[in-house]
Amino acid sequence: MDIYAPFAGIVRFEVADGQTVATGDRLAVVEAVKLEAPVEAPGPGTVRRGVVDDFADVSGGDALLRIEALP
């Protein structure tokens, strides 16, 4: 499943490519002006980064990373 930015801002990742996450784990934070929104895993899986670099500018709805289902 793809994970998207909730709004425009700067993204800071808290997970590494290949890391296994559980439901509710914090994946990233998107910051804009004085707003900060955590991006949490909607389900368990393995993180696949590479879509966006750390501290990149993103627009609302941009794909940030992908969570692959566990086998």
pLDDT tens per residue, the chain (71 residues)? 999 999 999 999 999 999 999 999 999 999 999 899 999 999 999 999 987 999 999 999 999 999 999 88
Spell out the residues 6+ positions from residue 25 whose beta carbon is closer than 8 angstroms to its own.
15, 40, 41
Rounded Cα gap, residues 16 and 10, in angstroms = 17
Question: Which phi and psi angles does 61 have, rounded to 5°?
Answer: 90, -5
CA distances 24 to 34, 45, 57, Å, are 23, 11, 24
What pLDDT score does 55 carry? 95
Fold of the 2-68 domain: OB fold (Dihydrolipoamide Acetyltransferase, E2P) (2.40.50)
What pLDDT score does 51 carry? 77
Rounded Cα gap, residues 1 and 4, in angstroms = 10
